[in-house]
Amino acid sequence: QVRMVESGGGSVQAGGSLRLSCAASGYIHRNCMGWFRQAPGKEREGVASIYTLSEDADYDTTDYADSVKGRFTISYDDATDMVYLQMNSLKPEDTAMFYCAAGLVGGARACALATRQISLDYWGQGTQVTVSS
């Protein structure tokens, strides 16, 4: 079964940066990709999403949770078929297991909604991010 594979997690001090990467283990017909996180004892939440309309990144549409706006950046590289999450100015409260997911949706708004509702189809097993104070 095709699934997403995350990498790039690790431990960093507050204020530091990490870049997460995600690739599909096989072909997935998708136009929406999202990053999610789940801290111990908390529900999984959508962090960022990207809707890709064409090979031109200028047409990509992104959406972010309020808690990460201005600090995290999601991007998609059509050439490598990978999605990234650049995380800057990390805080201890960002500590969580981070997951990547993908799916096929009807548009940019549907992609943002699917991410907020944790309803994309293909998931990875996660990569741990730990931020120390």
69/104 Cα distance (integer angstroms): 24
Cα 73 to Cα 18, 26, 28, 41, 133: the distances in Å are: 11, 25, 23, 26, 22
Under a CB-based contact definition with an 8 Å cutoff, are residues 131 and 14 in contact?
Answer: yes
- pLDDT tens across 80-110, in order? 999 999 999 999 999 999 999 999 999 999 9
pLDDT tens per residue across span 17-71 = 999 999 999 998 899 999 999 999 999 999 999 999 877 767 789 999 999 999 9
Tell me which residue of 101, 90, 99 sits closest to 127, measured CA to CA. 99
Token pair for residue 17?
A: 């940066």
Predicted pLDDT of residue 75: 95
Please state, rounded to an integer, the average pLDDT across all residues of the chain. Answer: 95
